[in-house]
Structure 1
């Protein structure tokens, strides 16, 4: 059986560092849609409404490889269309994305707290990948992995799309040494270092992940680097990458990270970010053998956690 043909390149450029949406018109054995407009009105009625779809047609927002598409064009299954979605206003994150390293293959960025890595939910243009595409004029730039929005530190971006899979495989196969730094309460009665293994479950629509009985699916080594004034500075070495893993494991030990808005108690949802209280978690180090060049790579963040100032 033949596979589906590869989609043609998008005829629209990026807007604000975001790719256009691609739509493939599906098969219609029941003959529900006589025109392109019939299908798109039905498809996006719940998201933006039929009137908005008609307005986008009038504005020439829907295009094919041959140019703008009109609402009354005959429906043709398998045809590709593109459009730019409307971006809701976003509050700019008032911190810069630092560049730790840049070459022909990689851009290693120091992502600030509060900035999402990739578009998701209400964070679209205010994301690290969108910013870097705009600021570096690199529209093909793609992340090899993700870092939580509230976590600061190193994120690896791939310059050439054809090489992205090789770098993503490094993270999938746990061939990258990742070190994090965190500030949390100090407990003199807790024996460290130790390795925590547990089963973490994260449900869609629920802010906090939780630990539950069962076969472990997460593992973190926790080391105390130093302590003072009731706080400790910790090195966290995750062997797996579950959502909120480090925050969940530290909270499970009775050491919730300083200024964590979720653990141990979820703060009121919908509140604006408090730029003065960043989560005290930093992706400090990435170390691996480059799958493209074969050379050893080691990158270290230039950021510091505000709850642990230099003396």
Structure 2
């Protein structure tokens, strides 16, 4: 267990950055300015003046401290998001025992603090509401995706539950709305090689040995749309969205992998039609069979064609 020299504040752990291994020259302030160009110098000076930037030994650093005296160490600091946008949707907790908590997340709420989201995240909200400082997500779903997220309540049990995901002993099923493609035979198994795209944060399918695998089934359909059940066998980032788009079935209101750009990512009336609907596994501690089902619902099947919904 890594010891963090700054205590959790308002449900958020201190952030950490590794100092470069430089033999000479450069100050802590200069490094932070270069590493975080979007953070004003005055912000770093204020944080250091308040003793809120420390090394891994808990020693407060000063702006003019030289890097050469702190080789191989890390800096810890409290991050703030001024004027953070309030996400007007609430998660619900559908299960809780001594070790585990299962939340049903709404669309648009991030799981973890990152970028422009800090307090307005599922993890921080749950830590504060349930007074669970060790609460840790066992997996993640995209901010745009709704549905189930599992959390370990104590550091001591996290590894046992994470092994379920690592060893593929978790069975997850998603629901999605996408164009109906009658030319495919269902259930459809799609395997492909995925890697990062040159377009920031997006993934893509490329030639090569498959490293991702999804099973696609159909719940219902009309002439233009279908409600699919997507079962990821592997767990690549954006896997379901990338696979469906590659098959000519881009998910309704997908801003990253759409049929046509752009989709308004800030429009709460157009949530990505992807829902982490169910999770099934054997609890590694109690050895009891567990299955949880999201109470959230996607939209009804549109009555008009794709070009009318996503012009």
Q: 1:138 aligns with which of 128, 132, 135?
A: 132
Q: Distance in 1 between matches of 2:88 and 2:246?
A: 32
The whole-number CA distance in structure 2 between the counterparts of 1:24 and 1:283 is 35
User: Could you say which residue in structure 1 is the equivalent of 2:121?
Assistant: 127
Partner of 1:10: 5
- The aligned counterpart of 2:29 is 41
1: CA distance, partners of 2:211 / 2:57: 49
**Residues 1:59 and 2:50 are matched in the alignment:** yes
Q: State the SS of the aligned residue for 2:165.
A: helix
Q: Which residue of 2 aligns with 1:241?
A: 235
Select the residue among 143, 151, 159 that pairs with 1:157: 151
Residue 3 of structure 1 aligns with which residue?
none
For structure 1, the residue ranges without an aligned partner over 5 or more in a row are 1-5, 34-38
Is residue 28–residue 65 contact of structure 2 (8 Å, CA) maintained in 1? no
- 1:1-311 pair list within 5 angstroms: 8-15=3-10, 17-22=11-16, 29-30=23-24, 32=25, 39-46=27-34, 47=36, 48=39, 50-63=41-54, 69=60, 71=62, 77=70, 82-203=76-197, 205-228=199-222, 230-265=224-259, 267-268=261-262, 273-308=266-301
Deviation track 1:132-178 (CA, whole Å, cap 9, x = no partner) reads 11121212110001111111100001100121122112111111000
CA deviation profile, 1:58-85 (whole Å, cap 9, x unmatched): 2332357998836389876477764312
Tell me, yes or no, if the aligned pair for 1:178 and 1:286 is still in contact at 8 Å: yes
Q: Cα 1:207–1:11, aligned 2, differ >3 Å: closer, same or farther?
A: closer
Cα shift readout 1:249-275 (whole Å, capped 9, x = no counterpart): 222222221111222346349x55110
Taking structure 1 as reference, are residues 307 and 262 closer, same or farther at Cα in structure 2, changes over 3 Å only? farther
Unaligned 5+ segments in structure 2 are 303-311
CA distance in 2, matches of 1:64, 1:201: 35
Q: Shift of the alpha carbon at 1:57?
A: 2.6
**Contact 1:280–1:307 (Cα < 8 Å) also in 2:** no
Shift of 1:24: 6.9
Q: TM-score if structure 2 supplies the norm length? A: 0.83
C-alpha distance after superposition, 1:178-232 (max 9, x if no partner) = 0111111223333211111111222365243221211111111111111236321
In 2: Cα distance, 1:26 partner to 1:253 partner: 44
Give the 3-state SS of the residue equivalent to 1:45 in structure 2: helix
Normalised to the residue count of structure 1, the TM-score between the two structures is: 0.83
- Find the counterpart in structure 1 of residue 307 from structure 2: none
Once residues 286 and 31 of structure 2 are traced to their aligned partners in structure 1, the CA distance between those partners, rounded to angstroms, is 45
How far does residue 95 in structure 1 lie from its aligned partner after superposition? 1.0
| Aligned pairs, number | 296
1:280/1:8 Cα in 2 relative to 1: closer, same or farther (>3 Å)?
A: closer
